[in-house]
Structure formats: structure tokens, C-alpha cells
Structure 1
Amino acid sequence: MTTSNPFAATVDEHPGEPHLASPELISDPYGGYARLREQAPVIRGRYLDGSPIWFVTRFDDVRAVLSDPRFLNNADAAPGDAAKGGRAGVMRMMGLDGELSSLLLGSILETDPPDHTRLRKLVSRTFTVRRVGELRPRVEAITEELLDRLPDTADNGVVDLIEHLAYPLPITVICELVGIPEPDRPLWRDWGRSLLSVDPATFPATVRAVADYIHGLIAARRAAPSDDLLSGLIRTHDEDGDRLTDHEMVSLVLTLVFAGHETTAHLIGNGVAALLTHPDQLALLRADPDLTPRAVNELMRWCGPVQATRLRYAAEDLELAGTAIRAGDAVQVVLVSANRDPRRFPDPDRLDITRDPGGPGESHIGFGHGAHYCLGAALARQEADVALRALLGRFPGLALAIAPEQLEWIPLPANRRLARLPVRW
């Protein structure tokens, strides 16, 4: 996939300022954000649309922002003119307004309590650790089916793991959970490619196509309910309509499907690439597959696909790491920088799948923190665990088919994603 940078003009308008879409931060996020992190804990910079933001890059400060209710996700609830820039500004640049824009700007990811609490409760039961654990046999079966087909997809002995494993595994799982019929799933892959291209010429039409599809699927599920998440949401709507509107249902399905497969696909892709370029770590994992859960956490810290969260907005005047933040100011916390902060992680740039988390749970914040901690984190960890175990077990000679420096990274701000992952065995 090739992606142009529609935000290049706003980068040029603010020379010398840190900009989320600057080529330096996109091409070398680890080095670029490390320089910002060591310059100061909080630095003034620019968002994709050129609006001013504060970059927060150190681990403790990032956690503090993500757990502080004074930092809002909903720009409309923030004081001043916060709602005019940021993601709303990006939607305008992409040609979106009205209903289509609100599907994205009003998603569960953009809300605060009590709306966020209400929406999250409606879907959280599907993603509990227990429910995810019950899914494991199905995830393993899907993975084995995909691996069975891999040899048939080879071109001169080379297979693209993004296309034939990393993407189809999580999209199959989330579509089965939500209730997307199997024949329609390739549509979501095409829509995902279109949205990730961030092309204003196609972006609005793609969002409209997704919204129309979900409206149609809701109608079909109303006529013939099934044992899936969407049918459950419809029952909630029809039995207690004031708790979930049709618009919220469409926005939820859109968010769950895209968030439920895009990031996991690239966690798997990035993780496999990292292991194949670190033979010592690959050898450790091959020798002891029970290290896989710890390896997945380390890969999420070291090369997680999501590098920055959505913007937060200060609800009042406050101080952060010695910096005065004014009510309505936009704050951009940077996960990729926090996860390599030497104040938190010894030798942070070294990939070490035996790294001690220092206690129960995760030491990194690749899945976020606080009220907006990733709803599907347990599922993403499980899918990555299953994929790595099965892939390395099935193909002991797995290796990159190109030199590491030839890996093609999609130039998408705040994301780390491979266009392709060519391998042979």
C-alpha cells in the first residue's frame, strides 16, 4: 500500500515545530519522539490539521494524563474553541461533515463518562478475559486453516504474511463476534485500505459505504436475529431505546470491526518482523514457546502499531510536569515514546522477550491506560499468542524474503504498520 501525506501542507505551515505528520516522526518514530522526550516532558507542537497541541512523551506523565478525568476525549465538552480543530479539523480536511463526521467524532473512543461508561458496558461482556478464553479453540482453528493455505499462496516461494495471516485472522474473529457474514468480509478489508490511504477523494464515499452497509445489516438482524454482538445491541435498542440510538449502534459496529482487526493485524505483522530481525530472540521463543505471552507484551511495548492516542482536552487550567495547560488545550500523549522511556524501562531500545514486567499485568501502555484502556486487549493478546505459536511451530525455517531495510512501512502518522511482510521457509 502506498499512502500520500494529505497533511504535508500543514507541516510546511509550521516549520521548526514538532508536528504529528512530520516526515521525521513518521519515518523514525523511535528516534524522533525520543528526541522530544529528552528535550522536555511537555512540548508545544502541531496536530494533523495544524492546530496547536501539547506533546506528552514520558511514561509517568502519559499515564497521568490517561487516568486524569480532567483530560476529556470529547472536544465538544471542552472549554473554548477546542472542537474547531484537532480531529474535527481532520474530518474537514477529509471532506467529512454532518452525520458521517459524527460517526467518527461521536464514537465510543471520543466520549467521556457517563456516555462512555454506558456504551462500554453494552459491549464489554463480549471481551472479558473469560469470554476471550472460551474463544481460543476457534482462534486456533482459524489460524491452522490459514497456515494450511499458506503454501498455495506462495509466489516463487515467497508469501506475504500480512495478506495471508496477519489480516485474515483478526478480521475473521471480530466479524464472527460482531455478526458480519463471511461473504461480506472482503468488503471490510477494502474499506480499511481506503480509509488508511487518508485520501480526501475517496474517504467520504468509503465512510458512507460502511455506514450504509451497517444500516442494512441492522435491518437484516432485526428480521432474523442471531447469536452475535450486533443482535444483542439491537435487542438493547429495541427494548430500551433511550440507552442506544441507531446512530450509536452504527458507530459502535464501525469502531469495533475496524479497531478489532486493524491494530491486531499489525501487532502480529510487526511482531513477526521484529522476531525475524532479532535471531537471538527468535531462538529463545522457539526453544520455549511458553514465553509467547511475555513475548507478545514485549512486542507490544517495542513495536506496537498504535503510537499515539486520540487527543485529550483540558477541562480546566492545570499543571502537567511543570507546564501550565490552559482550559481547552489539546494534549497528545505519545505511547511509542512512553514505552521506550529509560526512566521506566532499562535499556528500552533493546527487544527482550524475557523482560520482567515487574509485577502482575503489563508494564507497557501500548493498549492505553485508564477508562479508555483498549476494550479488545485480551483478544488481541490471545490472537497474537496463537498466531506466533502456530506460525513458528509449523515453519521452523521461517525467514524474511527481503533485507530488513527493504521492509515497507506505511507512512501513516501515529501508526507503525507494514505494507507487506514477505517471508519464505
Structure 2
Amino acid sequence: MSVQAGPETVDLMDPEVLRDPFGAFARIRERAPLVRAVLPGTGVPVRLVTRYDDVRTVLGDGRFVNDPAHVPGTDARDLRREMLRARGVPEEYARYVLDGILDADGDDHLRLRRLVSRAFTARRVAELRPRVEQIAEDLLDGMTAAAGDGVADLMEHFAYPLPITVICELVGVPGPDRPRWREWGRELFSMRADGMGGVLRDMVGHIGDLIVRRRAEPADDLLTALIRAHDEGGDRLSDTELVTMVLTLVIAGHETTAHLIGNGTAALLAHPDQLALLRREPELMPRAVCELMRWCGPVLMARMRYAAEDVELAGVPVRRGEAVVAVLAAADRDPREFGEPDRLDITRETDGRRERHVGFGHGLHYCLGAALARQEGEVALTALLRRFPDLALAVAPGELERERQQLPSMWRLSRLPLRLTGARKTG
């Protein structure tokens, strides 16, 4: 395959990159430590960083910032803003995707993170486990009832509803409103020019309505706490930051976890030796989820960073203001870090208590909800495998449908049809 738009520039929209990003990025990784690419919709080159150590440097080194406004002495272009503009997103709504916790640097990032971090501590997540387990069992009951000819779509009936229900209960989004969040998430991540602006307008309006309702009727949820921080905390949380925080928590809190569950299930069913081992030794489940996050994690590329000063990375000079993109999918299959990296191995050793993969990121922007996502993955796969001892794909692995995207940043299944023969009763 060709992954180049020119002699040295990777075409991120090459059909082979979109079809098999893990293989394509592996070939790019072995070509050079840094490779140029062009972001669709901007025509501006960025540097792809693909090797494990270099990716961790970009994600963890304070000399790389998220916001180009924090690059001193230059007029660094805000490429993400340009991409949204090219897709018809007005500036009044683009700020709700670009000016929040995911893109804040330094003290602003820490200020925003502190407002919500208590809800995602290991202790708080552990307390949520019984509720997550109950939600999973209820959803599997519904999936069994919905199965026609013994076949049901895991994404529709389980992989999406589980994390949506969990994060919406945590934040304070009422049950009747939750189905809309799945459709909004799908549209946002597809990055289609004909949909993003309208989706953001609808989401911002919906969150505004939620805030009005929760001000009138406070509850024991994150939304109430955020409203209190906004109303009573002076400069702790601005109007835009309040809306953006809710949007970010709900979308990030279900999209990636849904596809961890979907990708992980598909991977296990396509590797019967690993599935059989996990059934024999269910205590391997935490390690299995860690390995699935490494091997088929849903986030292929991290958010763009900018060099705040001249930096040398892997012996290559990166000039102040240049944009770099850390390719997580390439780093997590780098043979410099992982033995037999393309082999799915649920017994793969971790580095003590620290996960070695970078599927949840690294450094100050390490995924806030990583502990919750891991737990939901463990609960979901445990319940699924226990309920259906003869679970099988209803189509060949090569026939699974993936979401079409305008950028190879996510690895997402459209559907995951499963044959549910041999179901066991709960209780």
C-alpha cells in the first residue's frame, strides 16, 4: 500500500490508513521517528510521532502545549479551530469543544481537573461497581429479549447503553435525555461537515436547559456540584467552562468506553485461544482489559500538541509553534517496548501497578476517567461471557462494519452482531 501523499508526507485519508490503521501506522513508525502529514481541511503539515518513548515525551513534557495561544512569540495557527471551521462549525459553538479541560494547559487545566477529579478516584469508582454490575445485567436481559433468531447487536443493546447510563447517572442527565447523547457522540466523532455545527448547537442548548432545571432542583450529582462551583466560586468556572465540562464528561465518558467494550469483545471472539483462557481463568480479566486497551484501544491518535519552544525529539528538531500528533496506536504496538506487539496476549505483564500502554494517554492529561473505563470494561466482559457461554460473532471478523471517519483518530464499530446461543439465567 501507499501511505504517502508525496515523497515524505503521509496521507491520513489514504484508504489503507482508514481500513487498517494499526498496520499502516506501524509501517509509518518504522520509516522514521517523526513523519509529516497533512490534516484534512487545513492543508497544513503536522508531525506524526509514532514511537513509544517519543509519544510519552510529547504527552508528558511541558514543552508541548495543547493551546497554540500558549506558544510565546509566534502566531501559531490553531489547526483544530480551522478544521472545525472547514466543517461549518461557527465560532460561537467551536469554543465548547476547544476551550475546556481537554485543551487547557498548566494552571487552568489543574483548576478544571480539581473540580471533577473526586468523582473519579479509585475509591469512588469502586463504590460504583455494584451499580455498574446491575446495569450490565439489566441490559443483557434486554439484549436477550431483543435478539432475533438468536442474534443481537452488542453496540446497540449493551456496549453503548452501559457507559451512557453510568456517566449520565454520575453527571445528572435524566434517563429520557440519554439516547440523544449517543447520536450526538456519533455525529461529533464522524466530523462530517454537514452535521457538526447543528449537533453542537443542539448539545449546548440541551445542557443550558439541564443547568436551569438543576438550579431549580439540586441533586447529589456532578452537575449540581459544577453549578455550585460556578455560582459561588468566583472565577473557579466560567459560563463556557460549565457547559463545556458537562459536554466533555458525558461524551468522553461513554464514547471511548463503548468502543473498548465493542473492540474488546470482537477481539476475544476472533482469538478463541485467548477467550478460552479467560473463561478458564476469569481472574485474568483486569489484565485482559489492559491488553485489549493496548491491542485494539478506540483512540488511535491523541489531541494535537504544539511545541512551545524549539525541541529536539528523537534527534529531530521541532521548531517552536510546530504541531505534533502522538499516534497512540503506533506506540502501543512498538516492538521497542512490547515483545511480539501484534499478538493479543491477555497474560502480558504490566509494569508493576503501572499500565505500560498509552491508550489512556500519559502525563497531566492522562484520562480522568481511566479507572471508571477499566472497571466498566471488566464488568461488561465478565457479565457478557458469564451470561453467554457459547457467544460467537454472527459474521466473519473481516465483515465487521466500522464507522466512517474524516480522520483516523478513532477505531469504532458501527455494529457488532453476536450469536447468543446457550444463554444462562441470572441469579
Q: TM-score, normalised by structure 2?
A: 0.94
Q: 2:15 aligns with which of 16, 23, 31?
A: 23
Q: Secondary structure at the match of 1:109?
A: coil
1:42 alignment counterpart: 34
Pairs within 5 Å for 1:148-163: 148-163=141-156
> May I ask how many residue pairs the two structures share in their alignment?
414
> 1:81 deviation in Å?
3.4
Letter of the 1:82 counterpart: A
Match of 1:284 among 274, 277, 290: 277
1:399 aligns with 2:361: no
Q: 2:409 aligned with 1:417, yes or no?
A: no
User: Which whole-Å CA distance do the structure 2 matches of 1:15 and 1:105 have between them?
Assistant: 33
Output aligned runs, 1:245-256, within 5 Å. 245-256=238-249
Q: Does 1:293 align with 2:289?
A: no
Does the Cα contact within 8 Å between 1:19 and 1:48 map onto a contact in 2?
no
Q: Tell me, what secondary structure is at the counterpart of 1:243?
A: coil
Does structure 1 residue 183 correspond to structure 2 residue 176?
Answer: yes
CA contact (8 A) 1:27 1:411 kept: no
**Aligned pair 1:340/2:333, yes or no?**
yes
Other-structure match for 2:77: 83
TM-superposed deviation, 1:82: 2.4
Letter in 2 for 1:403: A
Once the two structures are superposed, the pairs formed by residues 109-128 of structure 1 within 5 Å of their partners are 109-128=102-121
Residues 206-240 of structure 1: per-residue CA shift (max 9 Å, x gap): 10000001011111111110000000001111111
Q: Paired residue for 2:185?
A: 192
What is the alpha-carbon distance in structure 2 between the residues aligned to residue 280 and residue 219 of structure 1? 53
Report if the CA contact (8 A) 2:260-2:298 is conserved. yes
Question: What letter is aligned with 1:39?
Answer: R
Q: What do you get for the CA RMSD once the two structures are aligned?
A: 1.5
8 A Cα contact 2:35 2:49, kept in partner: yes
AA aligned opposite 1:78: V
Q: 1:39, CA displacement in angstroms? A: 0.7
Letter in 2 for 1:26: L
Displacement of 1:271 in angstroms is 0.1
Q: 1:105 pairs with 81, 98, 103, which one?
A: 98
Query: In 2, Cα distance between the equivalents of 1:108 and 1:92?
Result: 21
Q: Select which of 152, 168, 175 maps to 2:161.
A: 168
Letter in 1 for 2:241: E
Structure 1 unpaired stretches of 5+: 1-10
The aligned amino acid for 1:34 is A
Tell me the amino acid that sits aligned with residue 414 of structure 2.
Answer: A
Distance in 2 separating the partners of 1:44 and 1:305: 23
Residue 162 of structure 2 aligns with an amino acid whose one-letter code is: L
CA deviation string 1:169-217 (max 9, x = no partner): 0000000000000011111112122223322222111100000010111
SS at match of 1:114: helix
Aligned to 1:218: 211
| Aligned residues of 1:308 and 1:333 also touching (Cα < 8 A) | yes
Equivalent in 314, 326, 330 of residue 323 of structure 2: 330
Q: Does the 8 Å CA contact 1:171/1:261 hold for their aligned counterparts?
A: yes
The partner residue of 1:231 within 198, 205, 224 is: 224
Give me the TM-score of the superposition, normalised by structure 1: 0.95
Q: Distance in 2 between matches of 1:318 and 1:340?
A: 25
| Conserved 8 A contact 2:4-2:11 | no
% identical aligned pairs: 59
1:209 maps onto 2:207 in alignment: no
Contact 2:59–2:362 (CA<8 Å) still a contact in 1?
yes
**Structure 2 residue identity aligned to 1:87:** R
* Secondary structure at 1:88 match in 2: helix
Matched, 1:361 2:361: no
Q: Deviations over 1:314-357 (max 9, x none)?
A: 00111110111000000010000000000000000000000111
Work out the CA distance in 1 between the residues paired with 2:342 and 2:4: 30
> CA–CA distance in 1 between the matches of 2:56 and 2:196?
33
Pair 14,248 (structure 1): closer, same or farther in 2 beyond 3 Å: farther
For residue 397 of structure 1, report the CA deviation from its aligned partner. Answer: 0.4
8 Å Cα contact 2:159/2:258 also seen in 1:
yes
Give the match's secondary structure for 1:352. coil
- Displacement of 1:423: 0.5
2:66–2:105 contact (8 Å) kept in structure 1: yes
